[in-house]
Structure 1
Amino acid sequence: MKHRRLYMAVASAIWLAAATPHAAKAQATSTESLAAARELVSAMHMNDQATALLPIILKNLRPTIVQGRAEVALQYDALIPKFTQAFQGRVAEFSDAIAVVYARNFSADDLRTMAEFYRTSTGQRVLQKLPSVTQESSIAGQRFGQALGEEIRKQMVEELRKKGLDL
């Protein structure tokens, strides 16, 4: 579960890059911004993060494809090195797609400032802790949302009953 949020973020970024290839090209980015974005992606160790996600993606796909069939499971497991190697050849493609997204959304100066931050020891700790912080924040948000939803539901039912509705 720790890597699930990071997996979702990277999967979303992959989807965004795949779903909007023409938009990414249509909205031109400056060479300076793109270079700064690539610098940021490098400082964030995006290639390492994407590489670390592949085993999680393959593990999550396994039950869907295997569906309890032993022979398929054996063949699936045997194919993992092939897919891992193929993915390694595409990590730079992923990083480039992420760099384009950053370059479209931030100035070159902003990107350089962010890269400087991620090169500091604090920035590195942020990158290290971000998956667990994201997971804990998500859990806290879910709990808050559930509690708030239940409170609103109770109050809404009470108010509707005051108006004579039978709930």
Structure 2
Amino acid sequence: MIKFSGLSRVASVALIAGSMMLAVSAKAQEVPAEHLQAARAAISSLGVTNRFDNILPNIMDRLVAQLIQAYPNLQDEISKKVEEEALKIAPRRADLENEAALVYAKAFTVDELKAITAFYSSDTGKKLLKDGPIATRELLKAADIWTAGVARDLEKQSNDALLKEVGAQAPAEAPKQ
């Protein structure tokens, strides 16, 4: 028979409680297939994971360069083997798509995801995806110019108003040290 000391009991209870919380958490993460499908469609219409397409090729290029630097006489073999291994790993890209679908499924309802997909699949939505970053950049430039003008005008007008009010008064003497 196993006897538990005080510390062992606490550890056992903590382990059991942690296991139960993990099980509840895992169930909470289960997302219905329809919800995941709607999330994948929204992700596809938004193109949000397209920027990740170059991750594996970039890693591969860095590794090839690193290995060739260490073993310059094996350049062809290194390129060939790294490419072979990268092709074996490439299917793992689907894992990232699945994670993205889970993220979107947790953030949006099925109806919201369908609305997102409908909008961003439309000509207007595609135009927003294409031209939105340009419009945002131009808007930020305009905001910078506006901010500079407002700051300039506020400083000038405040100084003018202050001079009118205190113009007749002599300036205060500097404190003596």
Normalization by structure 1: what TM-score?
0.48
| Relative contact order higher in (CA < 8 Å, ≥ 6 apart) | 1
Larger Rg: 2
Normalization by structure 2: what TM-score?
0.46
